[in-house]
Amino acid sequence: MIAEIGFASLALALLASIYSIITCVAGEIRRNERVVLSGRNAALLTTALVTIATVALQVALIQQEYHVSYVWSVSNPAMPSFFRWTALWGSQAGSLLFWTWVMVLFTAGAILLNWRTHRRLMPYATAYMMAVVVFFLALSLFLENPFDRWWILPDGEVVANALIPAGAQSPTDARLAETARGLNPLLRHFGMAIHPPMLYLGFVGFLIPFAFGMAALASGDLSTNWIKASRGWALVAWLFLSLGLILGGRWAYDVLGWGGYWGWDPVENAAFLPWLMGTAYLHSVMIQEKRGMLKTWNMFLVIATFSSVIFATFATRSGLVESVHSFARSEIGFPMFFFWFTMTLISVVLLMWRRSQGKLQDDHKFNNLLSRESLFVLNNFLFMALFCVVFWGSFGAPISSELFLDTNITLGTDYFMQTTPWLFAALYLLMGVAPLSAWTSTSASRLGRSLIVPIILTIATTLFFIAQGMDTTVAIVAYTIVSLAGWVALYEIYRGVVARIRTHRENPISALLNLIQRNPRRYGGYMVHFGVVVIGIGVIGSTLFQVESQRTLQIGESMTIDNYELRYDNFRPGQISQDGRIMDIAELTVIKDGTPVATVSPRRDFFPENTDMNTMTIAGAHSTLENDFYVLLVGWEEISSNNATFKVYINPLVNLVWWGGLILILGTMMAFYPKPVLRSSTATEPQQLIPAMKGSV
C-alpha cells in the first residue's frame, strides 16, 4: 500500500510541476496574476507531493517492507533502526528521491520567503526551479523508481516493477527478509549518515541563485535584485557544501583507513568543483553590489556553479569515472548528460542575448591595480584557475584522451600535488592582502602601512615555528603565507573592536557583538577566512609531516615511532555487536615520554550477512590538537592471535582541519546575523529591516 502511495504522489508531482512551469511563464507573459498564482500554488503542491513520496519510502524502510525492491537492497532485519533512516540515501534510487525532496523544499522556501519582496523575478524563478524538478522527478519515475516492487512472473522469473505485471505474484515476505542485502558497511558510520544530506543541501541550494539569475535574464530586471534575492540562499548552499566536503573528509579518515582525508579522487573533485565556482561567485557579487561591475561575469558564475553541480551529479552517478565511491554504471548517465548540456547551453545563450542587447553594461571601469575590485578579480581568476586545473586532472584529460587520442590516460595524485599548491598559496596570499585594500583605488604605500602589524605578527609566528624545530623550507614558506592571512583576519576584527571601545565606550565583548551585528557579512567573512587559515595549517601539517610505520608485535611487546611508544596489550576476538557484525579488537597503549597517554582499539569488523563487501578495518585513534595517533590492525595469527601487525600513522595537526571547519561554519552563520532594526533617527532603508534570509545579509 505504502509503495502505491509513494508512486502515485511522485506521478502527481510530475504533473503538478509541469503545470507550474506552463502557468508561471504564460501567466507572466500575459500579465495574468491569477494564472501566475495558480502556477505558484502548483509548485507548492509539488513540494507537498514529493514530501509524501519521501515519507512513504521512509515508512517502507522503517516497517521493513522488503517487497519494495529498494528497501530490500539497502536494509535487512539485523540492521539497527538508526540506519533504517539513513538508508533513504543509501543507494541510487532512494538518494535521487531524497535529492529531489531537498530541491522542492528549497523551492518552497524561496517561493514563500521571496514572493513579495521580489515579485517580478518570482514567476520565472519558479519556472526554472520547477524545470529542474521535472527532470529529476522523471528520472525517479522512469529510470530509478524507488517504489519498484518484486514480482514473480508466471514463468518463474523475478522482476522489479512499479506496476503489477499480468499474472504476477508477490514473493513471500519471509523469503525476501532472508535474502535482503543490508546497507553497505562503509555507509554505517555517523559521518556517512550526515555527509550525503549536507552535500545534497549544498548542491541543491545553488539551484535558487541560479534560478534567480535566469529569472533576471528572462524578465529583463537586470538590476542587483536577483543578487539581493539570492544572496542568503547562496550562502546557505555554500555553508552546506562546505560542511558536506569536510564531513566527507572526516568519514574517509575514520572509515577508509588510509590515514588521509582527501585523495584527489574524481568523485571528491566533482564535489569540490561547485565549491570553487560558488566561492568565486560569493566574492564576485560583492563587486556588483558595491560598484555595479562584472554583471555578465557574475551571471556566468552563477550558471557555471549550478552547471558544475549537475555535472558533479552526473559524473558521480553515471559511472563516468573510476572511483572508490562512484555509483554503479546506470541508465541515468545519458539523460543526465543531456540535461546538463541543454541546461547550460540555454542559460549561456540567454545570457549572451541579454548582453548583446547592451543590458549588462558595467557602471564603472577598473582603474587601479590594487583597488579592492581588482583584487577581487584576481581572486576570481585564481578560483577559476583552480577549477580548470582540478577539472582537467579529473575529467578533462581522461575524457579527451579517450575521445581524441583513442587512449585512456589518468592523472594521479602527483598531478594535483604539482599544480594546486601554487594556486592555493596564491589564494592565501590574496586572502591576506585583499581585505585591507580600498574600493576604487589604493596606493601601494597605504596598503603596505596597513599590513605592518599583521606582517610583524606573521614573522613572529614563523620564528616560533622555526624555534619548535621546523626546518623544511616548503613548510616555513607555506606557514608564513597562511598565517599572514590569519593575522589579517584577526587584526581587522581587533581593530574594529578597539574602535568601538573608543567611540562607544563599550566593554570588549559587547563591542565585538555590536561590531558583528553592524556588519555581519564583513566580520562573518573574516571569521570564515580565519577558519580557512586553520584548515590550511592542519592540511600543511598533516601532508608534510605525516609519519608512517608498521610492525608485527607480540602481546606485551612495544614499538617506537617518533617520540611515542606503542604497546600491544590484549586481543579480543569474535566480539559480536548489536547490528550483527563480528569484531576482532586489539588493545594497545600509547606511551609518550614514559607515561601512558591513551589506549587505542583498532579493529576488524566482519559482516556475516553481506555477500559482496563484508570486512571493514576500523582505525583506533588518539587525538590531540598537536596530532592524531592513528593505528590500524592489519593482520594477526588466526589461532593464538599472539602476534598482530599494526600500521601506525602520526598525523600532525590534522585536528585543525576539523576545528577550522567548525570556525568556518560559525563564520558563515555569523554572516546571517540579522541586522538590528534601526531607529528612525538614522537613515532607514526598508530592506534593512527585513531579516537575513530575505536578502539583507
Partner 1 sequence: MTDNTWQKSDVSQNEALQLLQRDDRAKFLIGGVLLLGAVIYLVFSATTNSTTYFITVDELVNDVDNIGKTVRISGAVIGDTIIYDEQNLTIDFTVANVDSDTGDLATSLYQAVNNPTATRLRVYIENEVKPDLLQHEAQAIMTGHLGEDGVFYATELLLKCPSRYGETVPGQSENGEV
Residue ranges that bind partner 1, judged by CB under 8 A: 69, 72-73, 91-92, 150, 158-160, 171, 175-176, 179, 181, 184, 257, 319, 322, 324, 327-330, 366-369, 374, 381, 385, 388-389, 392-393, 397-398, 407-412, 414-415, 418-419, 422-423, 550, 552, 611-617, 632, 634-636, 643, 645, 647
Q: Which residue has the cell 581568476?
A: 381
Smallest gap, in angstroms, from Cβ of residue 400 to partner 1?
11
Give the span between the Cα atoms of 666 and 289, in whole angstroms: 24
Q: Judge contact between 417 and 539, C-beta under 8 A.
A: no
Cβ of residue 157: shortest distance to partner 1, in angstroms? 9
C-alpha cell at 189: 558510520
Cβ closest to partner 1, residue 339 vs residue 646: 646
The amino acid occupying position 160 is: A
CB of 69 to partner 1, least distance (A): 7
Q: Which is nearer to partner 1, 246 or 631 (CB)?
A: 631
List 564's β-bridge partners, or say none: 561, 592
**Shortest Cβ 409–partner 1 spacing (Å):** 5
Cα dihedral 237→241→247→248 (10° resolution):
150
Residue 306 or 568: the one with the smaller Cβ distance to partner 1 is 568
Q: Quick one: 168 or 234, whose CB is closer to partner 1?
A: 168
Sign of the torsion angle spanned by Cα atoms 657, 659, 662, 663:
negative
Indicate the residue among 176 and 697 with the shorter CB distance to partner 1.
Answer: 176
Nearer to partner 1, 156 or 686 (CB): 156
Query: 291 with 373: CB under 8 angstroms?
Result: yes
Comparing CA positions, the residue from 92, 119, 107 lying closest to residue 49 is: 107
Comparing CB distances to partner 1, the nearer of 606 and 659 is 606
Taking CA 338 as the corner, what is the angle to CA 109 and CA 36, rounded to the nearest 5 degrees? 35
552 versus 688: smaller Cβ distance to partner 1: 552
Write down the least CB distance from residue 387 to partner 1, Å: 11
Name the minimum Å distance from CB 408 to partner 1.
Answer: 4
CB-nearer residue toward partner 1: 589 or 617: 617
- Residues whose CB is less than 8 angstroms from the CB of residue 299 and which lie 6 or more positions away in sequence, other chains included: 213, 216, 217, 351, 360
The residue type found at 37 is L
Task: Please identify, using beta-carbon distances, which residue of 103 and 619 lies nearer to partner 1.
Answer: 619
Closest separation between CB of residue 248 and partner 1, Å? 16
In this complex, which beta carbon is closest to partner 1, that of residue 649 or of residue 658?
649
User: What angle do helix axes 413-433 and 444-467 make, rounded to 10 degrees?
Assistant: 120
Compute the least distance from the CB of residue 434 to partner 1, in Å: 15
Residue 98 beta carbon to partner 1: minimum distance, rounded to whole angstroms = 14
Locate 671 and state its grid cell: 554572516
- Grid coordinates representing 167 are 499474472
Give bridge partners of residue 648 from the DSSP assignment. Answer: 549, 631
Nearest to 54 by CA among 115, 7, 101: 101
C-beta of 305: minimal distance to partner 1 in Å?
A: 20
- Closest distance of CB 359 from partner 1, Å: 25
Are 131 and 45 spatial neighbours (Cβ–Cβ below 8 Å)? no
Residue 297: which of 373, 219, 205, 390 has the closest Cα?
373
* Greatest Cα-to-Cα distance within the chain, rounded to the nearest angstrom: 87
Q: Three-state SS across 564-594? A: EEEEEEEEEEEEECCCCCEEEEEEEEEEECC
Pairwise CA distance, residues 368 & 244, whole Å: 38
